Amino acid sequence: MEINLSDDLIREILLRLPRRSLARFKSVSKPWLTTISSPYFIKQYDTMNLSSFFSFVHVDHENDNNGFQQKQQLYSLRTALGTPRFCPEIKKIVTVDSSNGLILYGAAVDLKERFGTYHSFFVTNPQTDQCRFLPPSPHSVSLDQPLPRYVEITTGFGFDHSSDSPHYVVAEIVPMDPFELEIYSYNSVTSAWTCNRANLRLLFNELEDNLNLNLNLISIPRFKLISGSVFFHGKLHWVTSNGDVFVFCHKKKLCSLIQGPLVSKMTYNQSRNMKGTKIARLGESRQRLVIVALDVGMENDSFTFSSWSLEDYNKGKWVCDYWVDVGSFDNIVTKQPKYLEVVAISPLDPRILCLNLGFALYLYNAKTKEVQLLHQYKHVNVYEYWQSYCHHVVPRSPPYIDPHLYLDVLSRERTCAKPIEKFWVRNGFISMTNACYRTTTS
Amino acid sequence: MSSSSTTTTTTRLLMLKASDGVTFEVEEAVATKLGAINNMVEEEGSEDLICLPNVNGKFLGMVLEWCKKHANNNTNSDKGNDEVNKWWDKEFVMDLDQNTLYHLLMAADYLSGTELVDLLTEKVASMIRGKKVEEIRETFKIKSDFLPGQEEEIRKKNSWAFE
């Protein structure tokens, strides 16, 4: 019997392939080329493979004789999108953030004989396995003298793929003293880090003036940013531990604050041990900034989810989307979680959340209170509390750029499709020196 | 959430006849998991013998085996069903050789077993994702119809995918 798959079946199969395979299979025959290149196919492929929220990156840590190895995997609803390939010199990879289809990783790059170990960021396009190293940010150039442990650096990442000159920006916020921040930002157009300072007193005063309020700065708990930035309106946003939103505009190098919606000025965390914690997460849903807060009862016996949308960005007007008393988590998951974190908020509906319970990722619907297991971690170990996954934020359209061109359109930098180590040695250090020279302090 | 209040009336049996004359006796609830048979049952009503001239007995048997498992699993308790089905699906496609896989896919497609088609296309995709262009042509019996130079041009444009 002849194998003769109908065009429809071929199409169904092609829809389930990674982009890399598709690009290759364009040269199989004319009909295949036509199918794969047709706008209808591309659209269907994107809705199927990138439609989500369900898509996330997870770094799986696996112990072996040589210490530990890592396997990274990009998961989406239907298919594992692929396994990023990294050269062996890159160790301890953590997913930091994702924006419009690009993923920011942090890693220790081990070039012992020549240079020692460096901490570095790199950006990948999971559709193509392309990878770009960033020069080390000026404050982490030398790992011989690492920053003191108590300094909590918050990272932000945004990929502006829709402007005339697509670019990405990485920012590191370093608290210097209770009222002073240093902001290191990298822009792919200039390929350089710059440093700016922000005075929180001034920012709060500004906010007070705008709102005719007296915020009484002293009563505000220690200013802290919760990691997980949102790139929105061309600016980076973080939620602070008091529930406000900290904004950094990398173009103007300006910081500002948006007063948050959270009624009580409690201290919010990103996560951690559950009892009595208040967890906040910033996201984007239905084209608005959204804060989802979770209050955990003192006995781990009650959970309350609440969500606010920033209805008017310029006026800072928040609207409560919902307030749900979940009760105990027992009836939701069988294993009592010791750890909880809101990983992501659905871009389509703020009631749909992705939760990390330490041993697995769950999808939670605050309306129906239904829970769906998304991904069970293979190895739950000491790294349980490590941020080893992130929500893979999908590219937005229009305007539409073919995702495999993402890194190509970004800058005139040399494309680094695979030989990462070469790029690093050849260009990385050159860029690094540049970065140091170009660093400006305002 | 499907509220499965299955009031089990007397289960009707259907006879399915494959292209090579092999017949299968299956419960209606099982066979109607296949869209094509569901349509026939609804249209023809009383007819209990259904001829399927495009499906070989071997593959029809396999398709029905899959339907049976899924029909059974679904009538069991509500919880954990997805897990059981997933696990069973994995087993089902695990040891299929290429030839069987493609014929099974064609059979499932012909019988409009949407879920099974999904499962099998996923399997095919996982098998061919890393293949070379030449291997694809061989697998699917495709002849390159590009003009000289055209193929090289396309390859060049997508060179990142060949590294």
* A362-373: average pLDDT: 82
Cβ pair A27:B121 closer than 8 A = no
User: Residue A35: what pLDDT?
Assistant: 92
User: Residue A68: what pLDDT?
Assistant: 46
The residues, any chain, with a CB within 8 Å of residue A296's CB and separated by 6 or more, are A274, A275, A276, A277, A278, A279, A302, A303, A340
Q: Sort out which chain A residues have CB atoms less than 8 A from B130's CB and list them.
A: 21
* A381-408: average pLDDT: 50
Residue B6 in any domain: the answer is no
**Nearest-Cα residue of chain B relative to residue A5:** B106
Q: How confident is the model at residue A400 (pLDDT cuts 50, 70, 90)?
A: very low
Q: Is the pLDDT of residue A254 over 50?
A: yes
Distance CA A298, CA A296 (A): 7
Percent of chain A with pLDDT over 70: 56
User: Residue B86: what pLDDT?
Assistant: 77
| Of B56, B52, B50, residue with least CA distance to B25 | B50
Residue B73 in any domain: the answer is yes
Please give the tally of structural domains in chain B: 1
Query: Looking at the complex, does the CB of residue B129 fall below 8 Å from at least one CB of chain A?
Result: yes
Residue B111 in any domain: the answer is yes
Residue B42 in any domain: the answer is yes
Contact status, residue B117 vs residue A8, Cβ threshold 8 Å? no
Q: Which residues form the domain of B33? A: 13-142
Q: Which CATH number does the domain housing residue B122 bear?
A: 3.30.710.10
Residue B89 in any domain: the answer is yes
Residue B149 in any domain: the answer is no
Q: How far is A339 from chain B (nearest CA, A)?
A: 24
Lowest-pLDDT choice from A93-102, A118-127, A382-391, B26-35: A382-391
Q: Is the pLDDT of residue A247 over 90?
A: yes
Residue B101 in any domain: the answer is yes
Give the residue from A1, A3, A369 with the most B CB atoms within 10 Å of its CB, the best one to mutate.
A3
pLDDT digits (tens, 9 = 90+) for A52-75: 445 666 665 554 444 445 555 555
Query: Looking at the complex, does the CB of residue A30 fall below 8 Å from at least one CB of chain B?
Result: yes
Residue A326 CA neighbour count, 13 Å, CB half:
27
Q: Sort out which chain A residues have CB atoms less than 8 A from B56's CB and list them.
A: 1
Mean of all residue pLDDT scores within chain A: 70
Residue B1 in any domain: the answer is no
More confident residue, A143 or A198: A198
Partner residue facing A23 (CB), from B130, B141, B161 = B161
pLDDT digits (tens, 9 = 90+) for A188-222: 888 888 889 988 888 888 887 776 666 555 555 56
Q: Sort out which chain A residues have CB atoms less than 8 A from B137's CB and list them.
A: 28-29
Count contacts between A and B (CB, < 8 Å). 97
